[in-house]
């Protein structure tokens, strides 16, 4: 039978109404939206960069150089350690992925291998490739962990920097193993942004108030004054952090602390910082490590200034000022305090993010001007309206006002559902996405065509109106499902493999096909059943 059970009718009506509700904010003018609650009105489809203008930048994170630097540091420590133990090696060479240690005496091989292994226990693979040659490399696990960390850290740094520009709705995403994707709407000339992103932040360790001092804002002070300051035009474009810091301290000296003019160690000497736990007290701490020269300078400064605060200055603001408990001479140390583990994580990240952990190279760049975006919206809208109008007209002419009308109604419901779906998924609409929408308009009515043609056929075999309709729905179903699923296969694979513009297209196409299976078959079936009950035609004009 054509007629569906009552609960199904209610469910179908419910789905359509829900879609209308979800899609409505996209269709209402802003004047009306302003009267609606924010949580509802904000639920609109965002436009892609090609429609609103903006920059799409794909950065390659140079993880190799991080590994290489680490190997260089390692070869330094191996030399130092072996000298301490009075063992000799001929040469330590690095090829960027491993170290080759050439020994003078094959008899030392086992002992030296042990010493090296213990330098970073558990992280190093030491193999004997020849009697007097050792190969030292980081374990695969350690390399993976390191890569992950470098990427996370890069993303964090990039995010922080983009956020500070006050750009609205930036997208910063990891892509693959060593890439960061940055999408910033509204930015037409990304050169400044690229510069900002790839700039190294300046980190310094300074003693508090020793000798000649300067004022530097505390983190809280900066956060309190900067938002106000950033509103004025003069400061908006200012990228010189020193000037900004001085201005903040001029306006509100109480938010600042005096630090020594002399820099104890600069951030470039810091090789690592990690949030961990104190083994005795089990409290969250931050451990850090310096290069050899940095360690030496740090040792001197801490020996002379026990019980005095040491200011950690990042981009001219004091992010922390722990008190020196004892001389720190091993090249590494810890920062203790009443931290939560969240705070130690943040601090470690900030210490590390003093510098980008690796060089970021732009490998893909796409920028669209806002007026070009506006042109694209106009062109896309015209194409969509004309395409829809042509299809609507075609359906009316081919199947008459009643059946053509129902098919067109179903297509409208389908568009509504696509809008609703995109709002819910938070997908953004791109120009290829509009093309996908136009295509779904043409494809959505295909299901109705299949049903109607079957009805025509059944009716010409001499069936009654009701029986022809019922048979039409039932027998067209398998072809409809097959046809939609095959196209959907293409859509889903496109989404999985495609990048950028293809994704936007695949989204609207796949979504449109999925919803059309509902609107063109189930929804029209309900409408037609009601219509049949109302009109009770003997013969269908189709």
Nearest CB to another protein, comparing residues 295 and 432:
432
Shortest spacing between CB 374 and another protein, in angstroms:
11
Shortest spacing between CB 450 and another protein, in angstroms:
6
Shortest spacing between CB 240 and another protein, in angstroms:
9
DSSP-derived letter for residue 170 is -
Q: How far apart are CA 405 and CA 393, in angstroms?
A: 10
Instruction: Specify which residues 225 forms β-bridges with.
Output: none
Question: Maximum Cα–Cα distance for the chain, whole Å?
Answer: 107
Spatial CA neighbour of 517 closest among 383, 389, 379, 417: 417
Calculate the CA dihedral of residues 363, 369, 372, 373 and round it to 10 degrees.
80
Q: How far apart are CA 71 and CA 64, in angstroms?
A: 11
The helix (run of H) or strand (run of E) holding residue 25 is: helix 6-27
Shortest spacing between CB 318 and another protein, in angstroms:
21
Q: How far apart are CA 152 and CA 154, in angstroms?
A: 5
Alpha helices (H) along 277-426: 292-304, 341-352, 370-399, 405-425
Nearest CB to another protein, comparing residues 33 and 477:
477
Q: How far apart are CA 401 and CA 392, in angstroms?
A: 11
Shortest spacing between CB 183 and another protein, in angstroms:
14
Q: How far apart are CA 377 and CA 370, in angstroms?
A: 10
Shortest spacing between CB 143 and another protein, in angstroms:
18
Nearest CB to another protein, comparing residues 344 and 487:
487
- Terminal-residue alpha carbon distance, the chain: 20
Nearest CB to another protein, comparing residues 201 and 327:
201
Nearest CB to another protein, comparing residues 331 and 380:
380
Alpha helices (H) along 100-218: 109-119, 140-164, 191-198
Nearest CB to another protein, comparing residues 255 and 270:
270
Q: How far apart are CA 463 and CA 159, in angstroms?
A: 67
Shortest spacing between CB 207 and another protein, in angstroms:
23
Could you tell me if 131 and 106 are in contact, meaning their C-beta atoms sit under 8 angstroms apart? yes
Q: How far apart are CA 199 and CA 158, in angstroms?
A: 10
Shortest spacing between CB 518 and another protein, in angstroms:
18
The helix (run of H) or strand (run of E) holding residue 7 is: helix 6-27
Nearest CB to another protein, comparing residues 145 and 365:
365
Nearest CB to another protein, comparing residues 284 and 500:
500
Spatial CA neighbour of 256 closest among 226, 211, 298: 226
Nearest CB to another protein, comparing residues 48 and 333:
48
Residue 141: which residues within 8 A CB-CB, separation 6 or more?
Answer: none
Residue with tokens 């009950």: 533
Shortest spacing between CB 1 and another protein, in angstroms:
8
Could you tell me if 23 and 412 are in contact, meaning their C-beta atoms sit under 8 angstroms apart? no
Nearest CB to another protein, comparing residues 20 and 502:
502
Nearest CB to another protein, comparing residues 23 and 376:
376
The helix (run of H) or strand (run of E) holding residue 134 is: strand 133-138
Instruction: Centre a 10 Å sphere on the Cβ of residue 514 and count the other Cβ atoms it contains.
Output: 18
Structure tokens at 443: 């494809």
Structure tokens at 207: 């003693």
Shortest spacing between CB 234 and another protein, in angstroms:
19
Shortest spacing between CB 460 and another protein, in angstroms:
6
Nearest CB to another protein, comparing residues 425 and 541:
541
Q: How far is CA 468 from CA 4, 279, 472, 526, in A?
A: 16, 80, 6, 16
Shortest spacing between CB 130 and another protein, in angstroms:
25
């Amino acid at each position: 039978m054509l007629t569906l059970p009552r609960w199904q009718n209610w469910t179908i009506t419910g789905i359509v109404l829900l879609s209308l509700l979800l899609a409505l904010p996209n269709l209402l003018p802003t004047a009306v939206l302003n009267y609606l609650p924010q949580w509802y009105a904000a639920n609109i489809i965002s436009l892609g960069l090609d429609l609103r203008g903006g920059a799409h930048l794909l950065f390659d994170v140079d993880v190799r150089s991080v590994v290489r630097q680490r190997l260089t540091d390692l070869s330094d420590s191996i030399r130092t350690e072996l000298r301490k133990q009075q063992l000799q090696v001929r040469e330590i060479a690095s090829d960027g992925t491993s170290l080759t240690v050439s020994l003078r005496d094959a008899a030392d091989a086992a002992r030296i291998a042990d010493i090296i292994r213990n330098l970073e226990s558990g992280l190093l693979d030491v193999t004997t490739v020849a009697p007097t040659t050792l190969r030292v490399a980081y374990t695969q696990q350690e390399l993976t962990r390191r890569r992950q960390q470098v990427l996370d850290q890069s993303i964090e740094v990039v995010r922080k920097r983009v956020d500070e520009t006050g750009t609205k709705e930036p997208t910063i995403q990891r892509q693959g193993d060593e890439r960061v994707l940055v999408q910033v709407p509204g930015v037409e000339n990304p050169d400044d942004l690229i510069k900002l992103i790839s700039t190294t932040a300046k980190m310094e360790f300074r003693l508090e108030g020793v000798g000649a001092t300067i004022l530097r804002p505390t983190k809280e002070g900066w956060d309190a004054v900067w938002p106000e300051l950033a509103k004025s035009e003069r400061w908006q474009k200012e990228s010189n952090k020193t000037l900004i810091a001085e201005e903040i301290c001029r306006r509100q000296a109480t938010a600042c602390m005096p630090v020594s003019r002399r820099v104890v160690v600069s951030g470039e000497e810091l090789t690592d910082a990690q949030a961990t736990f104190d083994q005795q007290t089990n409290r969250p701490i931050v451990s850090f490590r310096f290069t050899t020269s940095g360690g030496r300078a740090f040792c001197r400064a801490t020996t002379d200034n026990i019980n005095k605060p040491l200011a950690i200055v990042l981009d001219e603001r004091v992010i922390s000022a722990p008190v020196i408990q004892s001389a720190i001479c091993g090249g590494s140390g810890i920062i203790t305090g009443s931290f939560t583990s969240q705070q130690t994580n943040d601090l470690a990240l900030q210490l590390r993010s003093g510098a980008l952990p690796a060089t970021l190279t732009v490998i893909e760049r796409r920028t669209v001007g806002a007026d070009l975006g506006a042109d694209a919206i106009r062109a896309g809208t015209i194409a969509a309206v004309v395409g829809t109008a042509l299809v609507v007209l075609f359906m009316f002419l081919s199947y008459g006002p009643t059946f053509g009308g129902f098919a067109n109604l179903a297509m409208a419901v389908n568009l509504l559902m696509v809008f609703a779906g995109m709002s819910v998924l938070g997908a953004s609409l791109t120009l290829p996405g509009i093309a996908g929408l136009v295509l779904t308009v043409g494809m959505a009515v295909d299901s109705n065509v299949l049903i109607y043609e079957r009805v025509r056929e059944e009716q010409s075999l001499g069936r009654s109106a009701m029986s022809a309709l019922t048979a039409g729905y039932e027998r067209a179903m398998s072809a409809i499902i097959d046809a939609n699923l095959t196209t959907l296969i293409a859509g889903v694979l496109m989404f999985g493999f495609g990048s950028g513009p293809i994704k936007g297209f695949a989204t609207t196409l796949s979504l449109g096909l999925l919803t059309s299976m509902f609107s063109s078959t189930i929804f029209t079936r309900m409408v037609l059943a009601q219509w049949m009950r109302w009109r009770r035609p003997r013969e269908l004009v189709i």
